[in-house]
Amino acid sequence: METDTIAAISTPIGEGAIAIVRLTGEEAIPIVNRLFDGKSLEEVASHTINYGKIVEPKEKEVIEEVMVNVMRAPKTFTKEDVVEINCHGGLASVNRLLELVLANGARLAEPGEFTKRAFLNGRIDLSQAEAVMDLIRAKTDKAMNIALKQLDGKLSKQVSQLRHQLIETVAHVEVNIDYPEYDDVEEMSHQLLKEKTKYVYQEVERLLSMAKQGKILREGIATAIIGRPNVGKSSLLNALVQETKAIVTDIPGTTRDVIEEYVNIRGIPLRLVDTAGIRETEDIVEKIGVERSREALKQSDLILLVLNNGEELTEEDRQLFEAVKGLEYIVIVNKTDLPQKLNLEEVKQLAGDQKVITTTLIEDEGIDKLEEAIADTFFMGDIETGDMSYVSNVRHIQLLQQTLQALDDARNAIEADMPIDLVQIDVTRAWELLGEIIGDTVQDSLIDQLFSQFCLGK
């Protein structure tokens, strides 16, 4: 266990009202106390904030006017002594403060090292640690609620209960094998083993059944807006974002690159990509944009195909329908304020089972219907995050899938009437895989890799 004292800037770099330099470790309080002109920080009560000045020890130069939070172990985030120095939010000020702290005995923290220490010291498990980063990156209130529930240990408790069920089963098998002479121990038959693992299998299936929605709430829906030039793609982006992010003109081919923007649609984060109109063109710059548009199409979870109500369906429009065949898309018939020339029956025929929405984006009409269609497509309407346990982390999803496979292997072995001790190997494997979610059976190298993805100071 590392015991050295680490420090980092815990607030975003830039100008602001305040900035925070955070330290944790055995020497956190003494280090700051040597720089602090005010009450002795080694004597103040825990969880207090103290006014004073930071003074350069050799030159006795006043560096900053600060408020210092002192929090003593074990009732801290890392279960170590923690000190937070609140200073003015200028770049020069906070950097000078960090340099002083490092020069007086602290080490610069690695990305995510504060949270890593919280995990290593038993303050949180691995799934809760990952929820910290999910909380920071949450783009909607729904995503934030899911991260908060995971941080609170909701997923951890469920996984721990499932592991307890499996380890009891394994222990029962081992007692039968090692102490067959014990008459008061129920004999572990194939049928009993099947019944005991059935509940775990069903619960893992239930968690995975909501994994797609959880992943969407965590990472967002990659959404491409496509259509012929000048049908209203950029207007749609602006209407959803509610800001003028894209250039809107009457000149075809104005959008020459891919524009990305996150928007909140009824709690669902959409990573919107406004693409250059897909068409044949001789313009070299526009041609590059068209190629990027085709690439964005392949990587999208949802496609918004925009058509012009004031024009007849063209061969280019029909080619777009071909391009999105087999993908998840919604057809948007825009400019319904213009005299109708588009054959809606043909559009619906081409769309098949996909939804067709009509809009007049210049008057902000139809956006509600589009938002409803998106929510219905991915969540069958309203999103419930109250009591739901959404698994949103890709690592967790993969481990649950592997757990399900291990339990499947156990069931197949039972059906094949294989010896109980061989079936037990698969059950134990499922127990170990679930342990990797919360960090009980995870390797050190994976822990280092996970925490390296965190931001500095967290």
Helix (H) or strand (E) holding 50: strand 48-55
Candidates 74, 71, 72; CA nearest to 122 is 74
Tokens representing residue 171 in the block: 């222990």
Domain ranges of the chain: 6-109, 132-210+391-441, 222-379
Tokens representing residue 277 in the block: 């109109």
Helix (H) or strand (E) holding 356: strand 356-358
Between 247 and 132, the higher pLDDT residue: 132
Q: pLDDT tens for residues 150-198?
A: 777 788 889 999 998 888 888 777 666 555 555 444 556 778 788 888 9
**What's phi and psi for 306, nearest 5 deg?**
-100, 130
Asked if the model's pLDDT at residue 431 lies above 60, the reply is yes
Task: Give the integer Cα–Cα distance in Å for 369 and 273.
Answer: 20
| pLDDT at position 145 | 74
Class in CATH terms, 132-210+391-441: mainly alpha
For domain 222-379, which CATH number applies: 3.40.50.300, 3.30.460.10, 3.20.20.80, 3.20.20.70? Answer: 3.40.50.300
**What's phi and psi for 82, nearest 5 deg?**
-130, 135
Tokens representing residue 261 in the block: 């923007």
- The order of strands in the sheet holding 302-308 is 259-265, 268-274, 221-227, 302-308, 329-334, 356-358
Asked if the model's pLDDT at residue 404 lies above 60, the reply is yes
Asked if the model's pLDDT at residue 79 lies above 70, the reply is yes
Average model confidence (pLDDT) for the chain? Answer: 80
CA 399 to chain centre: 16
Residue 191 carries which side chain, given as an amino acid letter? Q
For the question of whether the overall pTM of this predicted structure is more than 0.75, the answer is no
Can you tell me whether residue 411 is helix, strand or coil? Answer: helix
**Span 239-253, average pLDDT:** 48
Asked if the model's pLDDT at residue 402 lies above 90, the reply is yes
Class in CATH terms, 6-109: alpha beta
Q: pLDDT tens for residues 104-148?
A: 999 999 888 998 898 889 888 888 887 777 776 676 666 777 777
Between 443 and 15, the higher pLDDT residue: 15
Q: pLDDT tens for residues 16-40?
A: 889 999 999 999 999 999 999 999 9
Cβ contacts of 43 within 8 Å, gap of 6 or more: none
Given pLDDT bands bounded at 50, 70 and 90, which one contains residue 212?
confident
**Could you check whether the bond before residue 269 is cis, i.e. omega within 30 degrees of 0?**
no
| pLDDT at position 185 | 45
**What's phi and psi for 226, nearest 5 deg?**
-130, 165
Q: pLDDT tens for residues 277-328?
A: 444 444 554 455 456 556 667 778 888 999 999 889 988 888 888 888 888 8
| pLDDT at position 455 | 64
Asked if the model's pLDDT at residue 248 lies above 60, the reply is no
Name the H helices within 104-140.
113-120, 126-137
